[in-house]
Structure 1
Amino acid sequence: MKPVYHYATVLKAIEQLREKGFTEDFNLHENCLVCNTDKFQVDDFEISHIYYYEGDSNPGDEATVYGIESKSGIKGILVTGDEQDTDPMSKSIIDKLLVSRNKRD
């Protein structure tokens, strides 16, 4: 089971992951994750840390912070908002993220 952390804010979760060596920034792009000039397909990375934050007053304020480790050794962070509003091209990546997030419970 992946560690799930409960910090007061998304910023605090990011700071803690940075202290654990997750220094790169991942971004979602056309059915892959991108970090600098590298692209990672769904099988090229593992999600090792998850932090899920729900806004107090607005469900649209939700965010998930993922600590991601690529098979090539890159450790970084991906922050997502509401995954339902994501580009359909990213479906396999979003599915992997959601399955990992839902397993935390």
Structure 2
Amino acid sequence: MQSYDTLVEALDDLKKKGYTLDFNLANDGLFCRDKDLQLSPRQFHIVDYYRFEGMSDPDDNTVLYTIESIDGHKGTLISAYGPYADEMSGEMVEKLKIA
């Protein structure tokens, strides 16, 4: 697994690797505004993930997921974890669960 020092470094490198879409969380899936694309948990898989912790605030935690849809769309999802995690369905929580 590739490691990155910063979120910006990771995003730049992943774009070069074809992860060009910017996914956002919806309660029951993902959506990409640029493509007007919505994906249910069954329509995508997590390729990899990277954790980043804020240097000045330990509560400033982020996870970056690399996402690929079953029909070949590739992008990233940036999400908070810990006390500021976004609300989502149980199916999405299970899908995005990381060790």
What is the TM-score normalised by the length of structure 2?
0.85
Identical aligned pairs, as a percentage?
34
Q: Which residue of 2 aligns with 1:69?
A: 68
Q: Deviations over 1:64-101 (max 9, x none)?
A: 111100001100010011255322x4332132112xx3
What is the TM-score normalised by the length of structure 1?
0.80
User: Partners of 2:75 and 2:19 in 1: how far apart?
Assistant: 4
Tell me the number of residue pairs that the alignment of Structure 1 and Structure 2 aligns.
96
1:9 pairs, out of 1, 6, 11, with 6
Q: Which has the higher helix share?
A: 1
Amino acid at match of 1:44: Q
Answering whether residue 32 of structure 2 is matched by residue 35 of structure 1, we say: yes
Q: Which residue of 2 aligns with 1:81?
A: 80
Unaligned runs of 5+ in 1: none
RMSD: 1.6
User: Partners of 1:56 and 1:83 in 2: how far apart?
Assistant: 15
Which structure would you say has the larger RCO, counting Cα contacts within 8 Å and 6 or more residues apart?
Answer: 1
| Contact 2:59/2:82, CA 8 A, preserved across alignment | no
User: Partners of 1:67 and 1:78 in 2: how far apart?
Assistant: 7
Q: Which has the higher strand share?
A: 2
